[in-house]
Structure 1
Amino acid sequence: MNTPSIPVHDDGFLLDLALRLADEAAGLIRAIRARGFETTVKTDSSPVTEADHAAEAHILKGLRAHAPSIPVVAEEEMAAGIRIDTGSEFWLVDPLDGTREFAAGRDDFTVNIGLVRHGRPVLGAVALPAYHQLYGAGAGRGAIRIDANGTQAIHVRRPPAEGLTVLASRQHADDPRLREFLGGQRIAHVGNIGSAAKFIRVAEGLADLYPRLGPTMEWDTAAPQAVVEAAGGSITTMDGAPLGYGKAGWRNPHFICRGAT
């Protein structure tokens, strides 16, 4: 008796799939925001909304239908106690990164779908629903932005002579460690926004540096890391090693996201 084979897809197919699902999830999030929603609190004290759950359900259905051989680790499933066995290749999904921003009526929240292979993010799709922007990287395409103007390549920039534009977490805006880290560097501006939008603004050359000195999870960073690296930037731990994936508990150490150096 022949056993049906599970299709093996190339990275171009997988990137197109991730981009489509991120864009569709962004549409669901915008619709829920327009009609109103309630915010509840998870056991870890972080907020969650109907939009988080709806976006994740849509993404998981699409990934598991069209790439069933690749395990998916997703934030809200993990919060619900669902554990997934992964091998050397798996998806990391944050269906609504920056729920605090979303719930507060601000615009800097994202949808993140990243593919990890052998501990490294090899492709990613990041949607910024409020801005109607979609970013992707991998499959030999470099880093791209898709918006009302079409599809354009994006690149990090070299730091301007007047100094660095630094982005930091809104939630940790008053962290004294940030001031210590930036000491001695020429700084033109420090801005505080939420979510993976910080990575994206570095990737497209609107900012130069994003030091993360607080907690994050792997689903927060895999997709935007793929975009930053494809755009010519880097994300490293404080000792200079590339930020890797598949760690125990899915928790990241502190890291630094940089544009061109």
Structure 2
Amino acid sequence: MLEEVIQIARRAGEAILEVYHASGAVEVQHKDDNSPLTIADERSNRVIVESLRALNLPMPVPLVSEECPLPALSERKQWPRFWLIDPLDGTKEFIKRNDEFTVNIALVEGGVPVLGVVVAPALNTTWAGAMAYGAFRECHAARQGRIERVEIAPRKLSRDSITVLGSRSHGVESMDALLAGLQAQFKSVQIENVGSSLKFCRVAEGSADLYPRLTPVCEWDAAAAHAVLRAAGGDVFSPTRAAPMAESLRYRLDDGLLVPQFLAVGDLEAPWNQLLANCFGVSK
């Protein structure tokens, strides 16, 4: 099924690029929460929803998408598994035309993201993974008509240096205490701002160590890339003050579908609880 979902996400990416490469400014609307919406979001969503519903599965799997009406909470709570979709993650990046936007599709079972596909259409790159399968990155060499697939895994954390990723659109102001704590423990702390779900993928492929998100984010923004990171050997945690790595993030489709904050890490053997203790203000 992973290969089928990859093809669906790529077709959605192609629909996005038709808008992205069109001449003229992108027409932008705003939803009730003031987040931007473009025709590319809608076209990508249509491709994904229709294609997932057409999959030949033993049992129908319900879906939740940023661009679809949300089923009632009482109904969602009955689902043992579901698709969780962001048809265009990084709409602000899309509007700015900086290439750092993605298509996100995750399969969640019992709150755990067990399959994920992240396609960055403007970068010609796909990250995908599933539990018991592993994770990989594909780069599309369009002119040569070939696809290069390589397995990915997080890197081991060095005690001399650490690379921390932040959001290109949301800034890193909320990370000041965390960064100060890390700078007291590492000789070098490199901070990079990256758009959309690419931050998780950077950790999964071993080009960064930590992605802390200390402001709320919707579940569909994180699930697909979380699945890739888990399949690669890392994980995403819901931190508490007592234990930053106490619990792996779960997707429960509660009211609002918001994740208050999380920490995405690559090296699960690193002493993160010690390194991040008292580095940021989270509730117990």
TM over 0.5: yes
- Report the counterpart of residue 217 of structure 1 in structure 2: 218
Equivalent positions of 1:170-181 (< 5 A) are: 170-175=168-173, 177-181=174-178
Local SS of the residue matching 1:126: strand
Q: Identify the match of residue 254 of structure 1 among 254, 261, 266.
A: 261
Change (3 A) 1:182 1:188: closer
**Structure 1 residues 30-179: aligned runs within 5 Å:** 30-36=17-23, 37-66=26-55, 67=57, 69-78=60-69, 83=72, 85-86=75-76, 87-138=79-130, 140-148=132-140, 149-175=147-173, 177-179=174-176
- Give the stretch that moved more between structures: 89-98 or 141-150: 141-150
- Deviation at residue 17 of structure 1 after TM alignment: 2.0
Q: Note the residue ranges of structure 2 that are not aligned, 5 or more in a row.
A: 141-146, 241-245, 271-284
In structure 2, relative to structure 1, the CA distance for the partners of 1:167 and 1:139 (3 Å cut) is closer
CA offsets, 1:27-66, max 9 Å, x none?
A: 1111110114311111100001111000000000000111
The Cα offsets for residues 179-208 of structure 1, whole Å up to 9 and x where unpaired, read as: 101223224311112211100111111111
Q: Could you list the runs of 5+ residues in structure 1 that have no partner in the other structure?
A: 1-12
136-145 or 219-228, which deviates more:
136-145
Is the contact made by 2:131 and 2:231 (CA closer than 8 Å) also made in structure 1?
no
SS at structure 1 position matched to 2:37: strand
Are positions 1:195 and 2:196 aligned together? Answer: yes
Single out whichever of 112-121 and 138-147 deviates more from structure 2. 138-147
Q: Distance in 2 between matches of 1:127 and 1:144?
A: 12
Deviation at 1:211, TM superposition (A): 0.3
Q: 1:192 to 1:150 in 2, by over 3 A?
A: same
SS at match of 2:206: coil
Aligned to 1:241: 247
Q: Deviations over 1:193-247 (max 9, x none)?
A: 2211100111111111100011111111111001111111110011321100124
> Superposition RMSD on alpha carbons, in Å?
1.7
Q: How many percent identity over aligned positions?
A: 38
Q: Deviations over 1:130-187 (max 9, x none)?
A: 1111111115320011113521100101124541111111233241x30101223224
Count matched residues.
Answer: 245
Provide the TM-score with structure 2 as the length reference: 0.82
